[in-house]
Amino acid sequence: MRTALHPYVLTVLIAGLIVLAPHTAVAAVNLPWSTTYNCPDWTQSDGLYGVVNCDGLTGDGGWTCDNGDGTVREDQITAAANHPSGGGGKGQRHWLGDGINNVSGGMRIPLASFEPELWLRWYMRYEHGFTWNTLVNQKILYINVGGPNAVVVHYAWSDELQISSRDFGGYYASGPGNGWNTIMAAGGTDARGNKTSDGKWHLYEVHLKTDTNGADGIAEMWVDGIQRVNVTNANFGARGWGDIVIGSNGFTPSSGRCMAVDFDDFAISRTGLIGPVGPPDTTAPAVPTNLTVQ
């Protein structure tokens, strides 16, 4: 015997489906996976979930970067962020502004299953002249944000790179001489003695592997083919990782305005070092002016 739903209950259910539909419409990606962002132009105000239309990517967070004068910047897929030695003709433009967490939303890669081992390769460029206050702490990637085994890849203080396990309390660092000031050595120096961005594309790769006993996980990172992090006793737990967020928050940039951080040619594999897609870019572009959201 069927029982008819009360009209109020039916209305609530329909409303709930309308709210959930944009989130559930996003199809998870299978590995190996890659994107050149050679997709329709997009900004986060176009919509975040299920509307990016780019190789399974979805928007993540509706934050905007505020210049303090009423103008804001949003994450974009745009030709202005293209890595010229890679594939396609576009890239992801992320924005970091002065202060704490003055940032546009990132983009998310939902994986079809929890992965116990990941190799992640991407190219990244900080706008020429980008600079920090006294502390460099910029979170580049979140891996399985908000869930078990969340990992953060970031530039850290003391001229280090760091892979942090938020759930298990591990901080796996490169050691001094492997972070921002070293990688941006070709950039200028600001009034506080910090290096500014050289405006060039750099090649990044991260290898993560879960552990069996709390002490045999792997955390490795290379920049421009040089290994910067090499840890074989990491504690990541055993479940694995289910999604990646590209582009996140920063602590006290001091550039005078929102400045672009560009990503391109992102690839994920289960099976080994992915490596470069082409020769490195060695020419620093001129400082952009009058940037607008595209």
Tell me: the pLDDT tens digits for 187-201?
999 888 888 999 999
- Overall residue count recorded for the chain in this entry: 294
- What mean pLDDT is predicted for residues 122-142? 90
3-state secondary structure of 276: coil
Predicted confidence band of residue 278 (pLDDT cuts 50, 70, 90): low
Half-sphere exposure of 47 (CA within 13 A, CB side): 10
What pLDDT is recorded for position 137?
Answer: 78
Find, among 220, 201, 196, the residue nearest to 262 by Cα: 201
Calpha distance 186→240 (Å, rounded): 37
Domain boundaries, the chain: 27-269
pLDDT higher than threshold 70 for residue 284: no
pLDDT higher than threshold 80 for residue 94: yes
pLDDT higher than threshold 90 for residue 261: yes
E-strand ranges in 40-185 read 42-43, 58-60, 65-66, 72-73, 76-78, 91-96, 106-115, 117-126, 138-143, 151-156, 160-165, 170-173
Q: Tell me the percentage of the chain whose pLDDT exceeds 90.
A: 65
What pLDDT is recorded for position 26?
Answer: 57
- What mean pLDDT is predicted for residues 17-29? 49
What pLDDT is recorded for position 168?
Answer: 84
CB 281 within 8 A of CB 96: no
Predicted confidence band of residue 148 (pLDDT cuts 50, 70, 90): low
**Arithmetic mean of pLDDT over the chain:** 84
Give the fold, CATH level 3, of 27-269: Jelly Rolls (2.60.120)
Query: How many Cβ atoms from other residues are within 10 Å of residue 293's Cβ?
Result: 17
pLDDT higher than threshold 70 for residue 209: yes
pLDDT higher than threshold 90 for residue 17: no
